[in-house]
Chain A
Amino acid sequence: MKNKRNFLVLLFILFAAIITAGCSDTDEANSGDNENEAKGEKAAEQVLNIANDQEPAGLDPHKTPAHSSIRIYSQIYEGLLRFDENMEIEGQLAKEWEQPDDTSYVFHLKEGVKFHNGREMTADDVVYSFERILDEETASHIASYFSNVETVEAEDTYTVKFTLSEPDATFLSYLTNASAVVVPQETVEENEDLQQVAIGTGPFKLEEWVPDNHVTLVRNEDYYVEDQPKLDQVVYNTMKEESSRLSAIRTGEVDMTTLSAKSASLLEDQEGLNILDYQSLEYSYVGFNVDKEPFNDEKVRQALSLATDRQSIADIVWDGDAVISGPVAPSMGDWAIDVTEEELYQRNVDKAKELLAEAGYPDGFTTEITTASTYPDMVDTAQLLQQQWKDIGVEATIKQIEWGEYIDTWSNTSADILVGRNGSGTDPDRSLNYFFNTEGSANVWNFSNDNFDQLVEKGRETLDIEKRKEIYVEAQEEIINLSPNLFLVSPMNYVAVRDNVEGFTPYPHNGEEITEVFKK
């Protein structure tokens, strides 16, 4: 018996020792250097550890729209243009550009820009990249953005000419898309695609990707912008569980992580941490299958809009950190109209009942709201709507489905009412034309309105910015009035950053820019 007791004591000491060894190691790991030495890599001075909530789904910029992939490949690849901090278009690989006529654009490339394999990037690479995006066999998710592009030609080594089939005001802003980037032909041909390899012109190079574990990027020593990037290494650690990300950022195991609104309030008073927030480009919505009764009647949809209390959705689902939104998210600045004054945004139960009665449903009706169980905010929103709509006699049940099935339901319009979240894109064309034009590739609602179609098509072709804005103001009011979707609220995004990280500012259109980031 005594022997056994000794054995147990010994084991206990052993486990305690391992745990303590872990504790004492934390401080050293904070600097990041020791960790890398332990890995047997070269000692790096500036290492940023980021916690990612999702695993990247592949690294091919032309084929992968997942946000978890974009945040990584946008550090590796670059496009012709990008948005600056004020969401104004500026050159990235293009030094300057001109528009000889309404349908052609000529870009002059920066000289001496090198791919990570050492070869210089030239006009031929731009031509190849856009041919690849437009090639049906690539099955690129951004092919639809450039469907107006007729030809892409290299005029000389550093000059590229795009010819469009018709004037397109969205062209330049779509060129800033994180997926509209320049890739080297030889790398694509060697590897069939770019899901596992990455050779771009950007500030960071891919060092390794260990699935469900981490992606390591290292500084591109030949980067053409002087003094950028400031970090030697960036490690994106996949940590799907929010409680693990919280504990890792508290203890300094990671330097940066995205957070939900609810966790952001938990960390507010934590020493050594800064919580940054920014308005997202997303908004939550209710989508109707407008082919089906009773939602084929716009009065029913308007009644539901009047029965919806958007402010309480912002308060309850997003802890008050969300703004009421129209079809174009408020963070799009001038493009978005102020929706708070819209008649259909003022909760009015009596008016709603009147409209229902006019539509032939004086006692309301029963229906089903479908949403994705994967996202708690969508489920919470659905539950609030269920309660609010009861006041006008609409009895809704909620059906929660898993994400894969949800996407299927969305694309086949197999639900009567769908609660979800949309990205507003970086051009109003996306939020209006793409989702609600009769021919719009994401118009899954069966919505069709001639006047609206004409407006958004005119908006796309109008190159004068002021005139274009006027058109989109009208289009937004029209779509709110017709209510094929009810637009609800646009939430804030949160990033927790350790206080020794400097130079990080998230923007709505780019929440993860790290070229200026360094550690004190």
Chain B
Amino acid sequence: MYAYIMRRLLLLIPVLFGVSVFIFVIMRIVPGDVAMTILGTDATPESLAQLRKDFGLDLPIYQQYIQWITGVLTGDFGESMRTGKEVLPDILSRFKLTFELTLISAVISWIIAIPLGVIAAVRRNTRTDFGVRIISLLGVSVPNFALATVLILVLALFFSYSPPVGYVGFFEDPVKNLQIMILPSIVLGTAMAGAVMRMTRSSILEILRQDFIRTIRAKGAKERVVIFQHALRNAMIPILTIIGMQIGTLLGGTVIIEQIFSLPGLGQLVLTAITQRDFTVVQGAVLFIAFVFVMINLLVDIIYSYLDPRITYK
């Protein structure tokens, strides 16, 4: 197991190297000039040239890459070209928000999806089942920006409520923090729930048809034991795969939801940086997101083997 984890961690190196080269080159190929976006139309050619020089953009591209990657390897992700802020601390502080948002959304989606998915499977082809399937289809198909905007408008127009402005961390002010986080989490959670619900239902249905379930039932086990201790646990592998991918994606930042709810998360950081051609921030953030994504996948693989002891890694 440990050997497996080590090998997976070693595999991180080529993956991250590839990502770093890719994003570095892409940012320099896309049209647009950071000096021009910063200084605007009033800038003189001398000012523009000076700024490009300050950012090292006058060097050949391979030298720029070597400079940047040497910094990254020593933990120095550089400074934002636009704001002069150090990149890594900024990424980490925004990641905290994105992490919290992902966590609450995921919990909400599990609370909705797994019980409903189980109920739908157990009462297959009843009204309950159809109801759940319609709800899950809505969850999957309603775009989350639409749901978010409707939620904001309905709360403001009919209940005169809007979430407090100005994000605060959970440990600074838990109540205000939750008030801010609950609406975006509900929006993201319901969207995630749709897919998880469908997967739970179909996966449990498949398990319930298998021989070992019949054996357990024949032994006189209570239905609750059959469903929760045996069927659900065995059905968890595909569900977990979906959840892992959802979480990985969310941790990369949820651009639209963060924008609608004015949350200073990772998605906002990357979006602003891309539109401003803030190379150092985009490169740092993308590298970080790739790292998180790979780690989540590794974590999911490890959890597989706990859920199903037949899965072993060598």
Contacts and interface: CB of A to CB of B under 8 A. Distances in A.
Chain A complexes with chain B: yes
Interface in A168-224: 192-193, 195-196, 210-214
Interface string A438-453: 0001100000000000
Given A19-B182, A57-B276, A193-B84, A143 B47 contact: yes
Interface stretch (B7-15, B56-64, B209-217, B255-263): B255-263
A213 B90 contact: no
Given A39-B168, A64-B38, A144-B42, A196 B163 contact: no
B152 A196 contact: no
B224 interface: yes
Nearest to B54: A139
A213 B167 contact: yes
Given A65-B42, A139-B48, A404-B276, A244 B161 contact: no
A251 B272 contact: no
Contacts of B152: 243-244, 247
Nearest to B34: A404
B50 interface: yes
Nearest to A406: B32
B35, B84, B157, B259 — most chain A CB neighbours (10 Å): B84
Nearest to B84: A195
B153 A247 contact: yes
A331 to B, nearest CB: 19
A10 B149 CA distance: 27
B179 interface: yes
Is the interface on chain A under 10, 10 to 19, 20 to 34, or 35 or more residues?
A: 35 or more
Given A139-B47, A211-B83, A407-B36, A247 B164 contact: no
Given A8-B115, A38-B176, A141 B42 contact: yes
A58 B41 contact: no
Contacts of A240: 259, 262, 268
A381 B11 CA distance: 52
Interface in B175-220: 175-176, 178-179, 182, 186
Contacts of B83: 57-58, 195-196, 211
B32 A405 contact: yes
B221 interface: no
Given A29-B164, A235-B166, A253-B165, A143 B44 contact: yes
Contact of B32 (A57, A250, A404): A404
B84 A244 contact: no
Interface string A131-172: 000001111111111010000000000000000000000000
Nearest 10 CB-CB pairings of A with B:
A404-B32, A212-B264, A247-B156, A139-B47, A195-B84, A22-B179, A139-B50, A247-B162, A65-B40, A239-B262
Interface of B: 30-33, 35-48, 50-51, 54, 82-85, 90, 94, 111, 115, 149, 152-153, 155-157, 159-168, 172-173, 175-176, 178-179, 182, 186, 224, 259-265, 268-269, 272, 274-277
17 contacts: A8-B111, A35-B166, A38-B168, A49-B165, A63-B38, A139-B51, A141-B39, A144-B43, A211-B94, A212-B94, A212-B272, A253-B162, A253-B164, A407-B36, A408-B32, A408-B36, A409-B31
Given A40-B172, A195-B85, 20 more contacts: A8-B115, A19-B182, A25-B164, A26-B160, A35-B166, A38-B168, A39-B172, A57-B83, A137-B50, A139-B43, A140-B47, A192-B84, A196-B84, A212-B268, A238-B262, A240-B259, A248-B165, A405-B32, A411-B36, A441-B44
